[in-house]
Amino acid sequence: MTGISRRDMGRLALAAAAAVPATARAQTAPSGPPIRIGYSMSLSGGLAPNGRPALTAHKIWAEDVNAKGGLLGRPVELVNYDDQSSGAQVPGIYTKLIDVDKVDLVVSGYATAIIAPAMPVVMQRNMCFVSLFGTGVNTDFKYDRYFSVNCTGSQVKETFAKGFMDIAMSMDPRPRTIALVNLDSDFHQRTAESARFLAKERGLRVVYDRAYPPSTVDFGPIMRAVAAARPDIVFAGSYPPDTAGLLRAASEQRVNFQMMGGPMIGPHATAQKLQLGPILNNLVVWDVYAPEPTLQFPGTKELIDRYQPIAARENTDALGYYVPPMAYAQMQVLEQAVRRVGKIDQAALAADMHANQFDTVIGPLRFDAMGEWTEERNLYTQYQGVQGNGIEQFKRTGTQVVLYPARYKSGELRKPFTAGA
Amino acid sequence: MDPDLVLLLNGIVSGLLLGGLYAAAAAGLSVSFGMLDVVNIAHPAFMVLGAILVALLWGATGIDPLILSILLTPAFWALGAALYVAYHHFFERRGDEAIQGLAFFFGIMFIIEVGLVLTVGPDQHFADASYANTTWRMGEVDLPLRMLVPALVALSAIAGLSVFLRRTFIGRAIAAVAQDREALRLLAINPTRIKRLAFGISIAFAALAGGALVVVQPVDAWSGHVFIGRVFAIVIMGGLSSLGGCVLAALAFGVVENVTATFYGPSWSPAVAFGCLLLVLAIRPQGLFGRAA
């Protein structure tokens, strides 16, 4: 037996260096026809500020899955079309996705207005449907292959405003009166109904209860009428332009409520956080995620860290705390079900989704018979100590503390709400 | 003071300030639609284009949004003039301006909106004027400068335009082209040139209105949609080619909306305001200040 020379050692090392990654690549690289996932997404129109971050999160998920060997050994491919934020476009898009593009799986685009029009088409084809930010969509359809990635749960009326009311009723002195003001939209009508129901249950007197149309420009008269009713607390439901209008009006009129907030969608987007700055202080806002230590799950930070540079390039929401974690979780639900089932079988996937827990970047979740979360997780958060309009403060813990639910609580309520005064 | 009276006074004052914003948005349309008979449905989209450009420039320079919007007016005038050249060449010259011209401006509106999304993103844009967080108080009546300053700037600009239309030769030619373009030719004035100039002015006013809008509220590419119905209603209610009527109608619209929102709930505001429009048209089909045919 001859010894191995230094030259032979060098050759062996070189061969090993070349061979090992090749072997590893052979084990992890996905192959075969892609698993195609189809959906509509609002890339233009009023829902685009949330649709585009959702798509970015989906792309990050697809990259992650393909980098880890794909799904069932096959690469995943996203097939999506811009629905222009119009529900009227949605049935046609899903018909094309399923009948022409022959996608293997479908998920929803962003929000109730886009999810509901897709339902009849998806139901006709008996496909599993994992939705994103839908509220009460399946109440009427009762489709057993529908699964909602939204924290509201199936008992919206009984639970949506529960966190807000629990926080309010824990104040000393306890509030006696409440004002309800909301946008005339499906989501906000449901949330106002919950607040109305729970206010009555807790003995709160409703001193103002009115909706405003989407075309409202000046919110001064609304806020003035609310303040004139002298409520202790205000439950408001609004979309971004209205939220800015309501809070600006509140600031100009130097309101002083023991507590104000609710599903005021707006500060969820970075642009509005920066615009409103200190006006947000002490506002109690319904949310789905906040960068607090109590809401860190496996993969959450990594997702945000990867999302933010892409968002800066693509001019989408800079921080990405609202939609991206949920959108990523939407795909994780699909991914985990497919891995467990081991094939693309819509009935088996639905059965798996009903039976098992999913570990996602927004935490563990399970679905009930209606496809909603078995346990609602409406977060009520409060902005605290906001100074100026810098973005960095919103990345720090303690700026948007979680007040409800108790298991994720990260701070104490501050009162009153004075809109920055 | 009686709380209801306080609410009423504030409703009227805030309505007048809101009317100032509406007047800014409708004045340009009063020129294009009212005087030139060009149904520029994209006018609010131009206003939003102006607003977003102002927001971007404000972010880069920190200059007051209303000053920036004034600085933008020459560029918008040129844009409007170029657009009119295209419109005249492809539609008006052939007598196709009715439906096809309307489709043209619909197309322009969508191009502006999608172009804004692709270039600056779908998010809201804002510009914080230094006075935006200040509110003057006159007894029980609030005057938020966020609403007051844009309204005053807009009304001053409209007053200037009104003087220009009444006192200058070109201004009178613009008014004349609305009534009889052939008569202009007898004076050796090219009506197409006058209309190009006037259309440029209308788009320049959209830039000014954009500056006012972005001080009042954050804007995204589709913010113009809520103004389409209102600005056309205001121009019609005012009497088409009457700038004074347009301002009065805008102020009336604002007051009716805000007083209704204060006392009967905001859901009734648009219904009552447009109901008033129908009432005015029933009594005076030519509008408040329009001349009967």
Residue type for position A171: M
What is the DSSP secondary structure assignment for residue A384, as one 8-state letter?
-
Which tokens in the block code for residue B108? 């322009």
Is the pLDDT at A395 greater than 90, yes or no? yes
Query: What is the per-residue pLDDT for A2?
Result: 42
Sorting pLDDT into bands at 50, 70 and 90, what band is B117?
A: confident
Domain presence at residue A41: yes
Cα–Cα distances (Å) from B109 to B43, B48, B103, in that order, read 8, 10, 10
Q: Which residues of A touch B (CB under 8 A)?
A: 43-46, 48-49, 51-52, 184, 210-218, 220-222, 224-225, 228, 240-241, 244-245, 248, 251-254, 269-272, 275, 314-317, 389
- Give the number of other Cβ atoms within 10 Å of residue A42's Cβ: 27
Question: What does the pLDDT look like over A161-186, one tens digit per residue?
Answer: 999 999 999 999 999 999 999 999 88
> In this structure, are A196 and A335 located in the same domain?
no
Domain presence at residue B242: no
Percent of chain B residues past pLDDT 90, beyond the cut = 60
Cα–Cα distances (Å) from B220 to B21, B48, B50, in that order, read 17, 8, 11
> In this structure, are A40 and A97 located in the same domain?
yes
* Strand spans (E) along A127-224: 129-132, 146-149, 177-183, 205-212
State which residue of chain B sits closest to A214, comparing Cα positions.
B226
Question: What does the pLDDT look like over A55-103, one tens digit per residue?
Answer: 999 999 999 999 999 999 999 999 999 998 889 999 999 999 999 999 9
> In this structure, are A134 and A262 located in the same domain?
no
Query: Structurally, how many domains does chain A consist of?
Result: 2
Name the packing angle between helices B225-238 and B269-283 (round to 10°): 30
Is the pLDDT at B291 greater than 70, yes or no? no
Query: What is the per-residue pLDDT for B87?
Result: 92
Greater confidence, B121 or A396? A396
The distance of Cα A134 from the centroid of its chain, to the nearest Å, equals 10
Query: What is the per-residue pLDDT for A369?
Result: 93
Over residues A5-19, mean pLDDT: 50
Domain presence at residue A40: yes
Over residues B266-280, mean pLDDT: 88
> Residue A269: which of B11, B124, B226 has the nearest Cβ?
B124
- Give the number of other Cβ atoms within 10 Å of residue A203's Cβ: 9
Query: Domain limits at A348?
Result: 35-151+297-365
pTM given for the model: 0.86
Question: What does the pLDDT look like over B95-114, one tens digit per residue?
Answer: 777 788 889 999 999 999 98
Closest to B23 in 3D by CA, of B245, B275, B277: B245
Query: What is the per-residue pLDDT for A116?
Result: 94
Is the pLDDT at A21 greater than 70, yes or no? no
Over residues B149-160, mean pLDDT: 96
Domain presence at residue A16: no
Is the pLDDT at A287 greater than 70, yes or no? yes
Question: What does the pLDDT look like over A227-281, one tens digit per residue?
Answer: 999 999 999 999 888 899 999 999 999 999 999 999 999 899 898 899 899 999 9
Question: What does the pLDDT look like over B210-264, one tens digit per residue?
Answer: 999 999 998 989 899 989 999 999 999 888 878 999 999 999 999 999 999 999 9
Mean pLDDT of the residues in chain A? 91
Query: What is the per-residue pLDDT for A23?
Result: 42
Q: Count how many residues are written for chain A.
A: 421
> In this structure, are A118 and A147 located in the same domain?
yes
Domain presence at residue A315: yes
A218/B147 Cβ within 8 A: yes
Q: Output the DSSP codes for B100-156.
A: HHHHHHHHHHHHHHHHHHHHH-SS-B----TTTT-EEEETTEEEEHHHHHHHHHHHH
How many angstroms separate the CA atoms of B255 and B153, rounded?
Answer: 19
Query: Domain limits at B14?
Result: 3-119+145-222
∠ CA A386-A388-A391, nearest 5°, is: 80
Query: What is the per-residue pLDDT for A230?
Result: 95
CATH number at residue A65: 3.40.50.2300
DSSP-derived pairing of the beta strands A205-212 and A233-237: unpaired
Over residues A328-347, mean pLDDT: 96
Which tokens in the block code for residue A120? 């009849």
> In this structure, are A270 and A311 located in the same domain?
no
CB-CB neighbors (< 8 A) of A45 in chain B: 222
- Cβ distance B254 to B20 under 8 Å? yes
Which tokens in the block code for residue A419? 């809109």
- Cβ distance A258 to A352 under 8 Å? no
Question: What does the pLDDT look like over B170-180, one tens digit per residue?
Answer: 888 888 887 77
Sorting pLDDT into bands at 50, 70 and 90, what band is B283?
A: confident
> Residue B14: which of A218, A271, A272 has the nearest Cβ?
A218
Sorting pLDDT into bands at 50, 70 and 90, what band is A46?
A: confident
H/E/C letters for each residue in A81-122? EECCCCHHHHHHHHHHHHHHCCCCEEEEEECHHHHHHHHHHH
Query: What is the per-residue pLDDT for A64?
Result: 96
Torsion of CA B146, B151, B152, B154, to 10 degrees: 130
How many angstroms separate the CA atoms of A378 and A407, rounded?
Answer: 12
> In this structure, are A170 and A237 located in the same domain?
yes
State which residue of chain A sits closest to B264, comparing Cα positions.
A210
Cα–Cα distances (Å) from A87 to A51, A94, A115, B166, in that order, read 14, 11, 8, 49
Domain presence at residue A14: no
Instruction: Tell me which H or E stretch contains A31.
Output: none
Which tokens in the block code for residue A391? 């973005």
How many angstroms separate the CA atoms of A104 and A302, rounded?
Answer: 28
Asked casually if ipTM beats, i.e. exceeds, 0.85, the reply is: yes
Which tokens in the block code for residue A73? 């050994």
**Burial, A407: exposed, middle or buried (Cβ in 10 Å; 0-12, 13-18, 19+)?**
exposed
Query: Structurally, how many domains does chain B consist of?
Result: 1
Sorting pLDDT into bands at 50, 70 and 90, what band is A26?
A: very low
Query: What is the per-residue pLDDT for A8?
Result: 55
